Copies of this chain bind each other. A is one copy, B any other.
Amino acid sequence: MTETRWLDAREAHLWQSYRASYRELLAALETRLTSNSGLSGADYALLHPLSTSDCGVLRTRDLGKSVGWERSRLSHQVSRMEKRGLVTREECESDARGSMVRITELGRKAIEAAAPDHVEAVRSYLLDRLTREEQDVLTALLDRVLDGLPARDLCRGDGSIPSDC
């Protein structure tokens, strides 16, 4: 047991900025998305991979992987969206344990209406604030942090389906 090495001002600043920038960015995006389209960030997060998949259908497990959520959270969210007519559930033919989630016409219209402004918001709040080189640096640093984290129960996104925008 050695003495604890507390964070100095420089280190605390990084930690503080990391959390504040994420919190504020997400809050700004969520506010804008909801007021423009009536979709929550969670709605959008699920509708996006669905809308870009082959027939607008994904197995629940794969949908979960693409957004990095726990299964129960995903199930609850799908139930709420089902109630609002954005998606429907179907049985999985190849594996009777599984279930499929299909985007409805209403859901497709909703995300197609919401997407342009949402992408524009991500650009103006994040991408446009950085040069191309800075974007690449930031990506590399964040990926390095991500790689060092312990894996959780759920499956981390495998990158096969970009999970937003």
Residues of A within 8 A of B (CB): 4-7, 9-28, 68, 115-116, 119-120, 122-127, 129-130, 134-139, 141-146, 148-150, 152, 156-157, 159, 162-165
Chain B hits for A11, CB < 8 A: 127, 135, 165
Q: How far is the CA of A141 from the CA of B124 in the complex (A)?
A: 15
Closest 3 CB pairs of A and B: A4-B116, A21-B146, A21-B142
Please state if A24 and B146 are interface contacts (CB–CB under 8 Å): yes
Counting every copy of the chain, the complex holds 2
Q: How far is the CA of A27 from the CA of B108 in the complex (A)?
A: 31
Please state if A22 and B20 are interface contacts (CB–CB under 8 Å): no
Which residue among A22, A123, A157 has the maximum number of chain B CB atoms within 10 Å of its CB?
A: A22
Q: How far is the CA of A11 from the CA of B124 in the complex (A)?
A: 13
Given contacts A145-B125, A145-B129, is CB(A68)–CB(B18) below 8 Å? no
Listed A/B pairs (16) with beta-carbon separation below 8 Å: A6-B165, A7-B127, A7-B162, A9-B162, A10-B139, A11-B165, A12-B165, A17-B146, A19-B26, A21-B145, A24-B146, A24-B152, A25-B146, A129-B145, A137-B137, A138-B141
The residue that A22 contacts in the complex, of B6, B18, B138, B144, with Cβ under 8 A, is B18
The residue that A14 contacts in the complex, of B7, B139, B157, B163, with Cβ under 8 A, is B139
Given contacts A7-B119, A10-B135, A127-B11, is CB(A145)–CB(B25) below 8 Å? yes
